[in-house]
Structure 1
Amino acid sequence: MIRNTIRAAGMMTALGLLIGPAFAQDNSGGKVLTQPAIAQTAIRQDMIPGVYETAEAAELGALFVASTPSFDAGTPGYVDLLDPADLSPIRRIELPRRAFALAMDHQRGKLFVGNTLDGSLSVLDAKSGLLLETVQLGKPEGEGFEHTRMVEVDEDSGRVFVSSPSDAGTLWIVDTMAENAVTRIDDAGLWAAGLVHDPASGRVYVSGGGIDEVLIVDGKTGERVGTLSTGDTTEASKDGSKHFFVNLSLDAKRGRLFAADANSGQLYVFDIASGKVQKTVPIGLGTLDVLYAAETDQIFVTYRGAGREKTDGTGGVIVLSGEDYAPQASIPLPAHPNSLTLGDGGKALFVTVKAPMEKEHPLYREGAADSVLRFDLTALGNAIG
């Protein structure tokens, strides 16, 4: 997580599409859910073109959905509000900059929107939808700016963390309680795309490729406190990188970090204390997002089913046991599943699914909208059996 000059860069940043070659074939295992079975567990909404991330604000009765229908410079972005229970539309907010990533500060009632291609962070009052301010993070670069990607919030301190997947990699720390003072951390790692924050330890994990695929930073001081590495990459170059950990998720209680590897099509599980790879699980071509659900002790991983060598495939969501990583289910969701978030206190899973943009794709339809799905995790557990 879009093929011409501006769009290719944007897609790799926003969606994390493959930077290196993809080697793994789809190998999900588990029970393959049929469409009737999926229908008993999910609600689907197809109304928003250019969908990317979601964020729930249960206190406002809203699911925020970021979208950017056009990658053309100067075009707007949008945040739609849906009812998180049935995905019915509530209202739409238009933004002057294109919207990709979302993060919610529930304590302060602020919604942070990552403007990937504009290299900035939009700050919205979540209740009114008013744009409070825009924080420019990326420096001018070519005809645009250094890109932003993922956004994470530490609600205790009001700090916001933003990753940038450049060749050197950048992490920005925005202190919203100090007039949005920005700390910039350069050399955060090759393609520093993935990002997750641990509120308990205050640590921030940033992932990409290179020799040390994961950088660990003290979220308060910005100090580098460690790295995690597979040990597979020995050459410090883009071509030599064996992995691209495009997204991360954290099981803080058991000290596990989950990394979705777009290069190999696998899920990597790190034991944080030892720094060792605990497990690898084959997922599929175009492995993209990963989310650990503590409520059900399950790991959800999206794969797009498409890459450079295979552009006409479709993807799905793989469900793994959080106990032993055994595949529990494969949920086909054509064409390209994208981002994952939890809602309803961990009892619901929201998935965005993108329609194919390439006219050569067999499922391409001119003007097709993207999808948002809500899975009831109790019903999904019953369907899996």
Structure 2
Amino acid sequence: MNKKRSALMLLVGLALAGCSAQQGGGASATATGTPAAAATQSAQLQKNALGDGLYEMALTPDGRALYVASAQGFKDVQGGAIYKLDPATLKVLGITHTDLKNFGVAMDPQGKTLYVTNSLDGGVSALDIASGKITGRLLFSERNEKGFPYGAREILWHDGQLFIGGVADPGVIWVVDAKTLKLKKRINNAGKWVTGLHYSAQTQRLYAANGGGEILVINPRSYAIEQRWQPLGEKPALLLNLAEDKQGGRLFVTDNSKAKTTLVLDIRSGKLIKQLDNGDSLAVKYNPQRQELYLTQRESGKLLILDAHSYATKRSVSLPPHPNSLLLSADGQTLYVTVKQAFNKDGSTQGPDSIVRVPLNQ
């Protein structure tokens, strides 16, 4: 694998997935209780070994289609794909093959356009839902000291704009017009490696996590960074993904490599409410309907289901080798998980990545 591809894969691995030599098999469920109970839970899971390079997911507003971004392979494979699945069966309904590799996703509220980040090329593409075609693209001009594009990692749709985090040092947040895909603004000095993005309707602020252990509080109208929180102080932290408890005013933040924890913050003050001792945490989702918190753990290969009040683990689901991204259905009763395989030294993977459907009301 050439040096450019190695460096870019490291960038994406750092921000989106991570890599490990650990091998694993298919999806299974393990929970506290008897082996029979674990076997019953395993039978309730649905799994589709879809293909290489699966990352983030999005549901259409009507819940009839599930989209999965795929980078495809990193060895001798050009381009990527976007899969359209039946959310109930995980059956493939359609595939859009793309010339660039796809990672992060965001759906517009009308369900007409899916936006995907092309991390290795430092850009964003728009997929027309009706036709399944790529209808627009913007490639950002920034390059690092080695000449590589800044990695376009997480993407968020808000008020007709796309906020896209740039993985660089220092990082940047690009603000893009969602209709025209024209660059409107650069939010600079966003710290080392902008990773997670979240908008809170309660505070009307954008929150950005970075690899320097910071949470940036940003005014989405003026684009000003109003506050910079460092919840763990000077301790090393690589903060990743964010989720919000709107009624409780809590912001959940994960770290799967440095502090290896989940932080619970007051969303208005940034005060650290609780630091969860569950180990490495990658993706995070909060479920207000069930009062539950969901975490993926790449090292242990588990999905954790926590009581959102006591933070006690209600259920642990084994999804080896590396559960990655999470998506929650609108009714809060179904969770979708992408499960990644490990990379070989030559950049190939040890098997196809999978998507798993986890029913929460059984």
State the TM-score, normalized to the length of structure 1: 0.82
Distance (whole Å) between structure 2 residues aligned to residue 16 and residue 255 of structure 1: 30
Alignment partner of 1:103 is 2:98: no
CA distance in 2, matches of 1:177, 1:33: 53
In 1: Cα distance, 2:357 partner to 2:330 partner: 10
Counterpart Cα distance in 2 of 1:316 and 1:32: 16
Match of 1:283 in 2: 278
Is the CA contact 1:33–1:330 (under 8 Å) kept in the aligned structure 2? Answer: no
Cα distance in 2 for residues equivalent to 1:257 and 1:196: 10
Q: Deviations over 1:362-383 (max 9, x none)?
A: xxx966111101111111xxxx
Give the root-mean-square deviation of aligned CA atoms: 2.7
What SS does structure 2 have at the residue aligned with 1:345?
coil
2:129 paired residue number: 126
> Residue in 2 aligned with 1:357?
343
Percent of matched pairs sharing the same residue: 29
- Greater shift, 97-106 or 37-46, is seen at 37-46
Give the C-alpha shift of residue 76 in structure 1.
0.8
| Aligned AA (2:301) | G
Matches within 5 A, 1:1-385: 4-15=6-17, 31=32, 35-59=38-62, 61-71=64-74, 75-107=78-110, 109-141=112-144, 142-154=146-158, 157-177=159-179, 180-210=182-212, 213-233=214-234, 242-262=236-256, 263-285=258-280, 287-305=281-299, 314-358=300-344, 368-379=351-362
Deviation at 1:63, TM superposition (A): 0.4
Structure 1 residues 126-147: Cα deviation after superposition (integer angstroms, max 9, x where no partner)? 2211111101235234353111
Whether contact under 8 Å (1:290, 1:302) holds in the other structure is: yes
Cα deviation, 1:140-167, whole Å, max 9, x if unaligned, reads 343531111111111xx21111112222
Mapped to 2, the partners of 1:16 and 1:368 lie a distance apart of 16
Q: Contact 1:16/1:193 (CA < 8 Å) preserved in 2?
A: no
3-state DSSP of counterpart to 1:11: helix
SS of the residue corresponding to residue 145 of structure 1 reads coil
Q: Is the 8 A contact 1:138 1:148 kept in 2?
A: no
Q: Contact (CA 8 Å) 1:33, 1:331: kept in 2 or not? A: no
For residue 152 of structure 2, give the secondary structure of its aligned residue in structure 1: coil
Q: Size of the alignment, in residue pairs? A: 346
Unaligned runs of 5+ in 2: 21-29
Residue 104 of structure 1 and its aligned partner are, at CA, apart by 0.5
| Kept after mapping to 1: 8 A contact 2:203/2:268 | no
**Deviations 1:42-97 (Å, cap 9, x if unpaired)?**
21111221111111115372100111123369821110001001101111001121
SS in 2 for 1:9: helix
Is the CA contact 2:283–2:295 (under 8 Å) kept in the aligned structure 1?
Answer: yes
Deviation at 1:344, TM superposition (A): 4.5
114-123 or 165-174: which moved more? 165-174
SS in structure 2 of the partner of residue 38 of structure 1: helix
Q: Which runs of no fewer than 5 residues in structure 1 stay unpaired? A: 19-28, 234-240, 306-313, 380-385
Give the drift of 1:124.
1.2
Greater mean alpha carbon deviation, residues 224-233 or residues 163-172? 224-233
Q: Which amino acid aligns with 2:157?
A: V
TM-score after normalising by structure 2: 0.87
Change in Cα spacing, 1:30 to 1:333, as seen in structure 2 (3 Å) is: closer
After superposing on structure 2, the runs of 4+ consecutive aligned residues of structure 1 that deviate more than 4 Å are 32-35
Alpha-carbon distance change, 366 to 246 in structure 1, aligned in 2, over 3 angstroms = closer
- Within 2, Cα distance between the matches of 1:85 and 1:374? 8
Q: Which has the higher contact order (CA 8 A, sep 6+)?
A: 1
Give the secondary-structure state (helix, strand or coil) at the position aligned to 1:117. Answer: helix
Match of 1:23 in 2: none
CA distance change for structure 1 residues 316 and 98 in 2, over 3 Å: closer, same or farther?
Answer: same
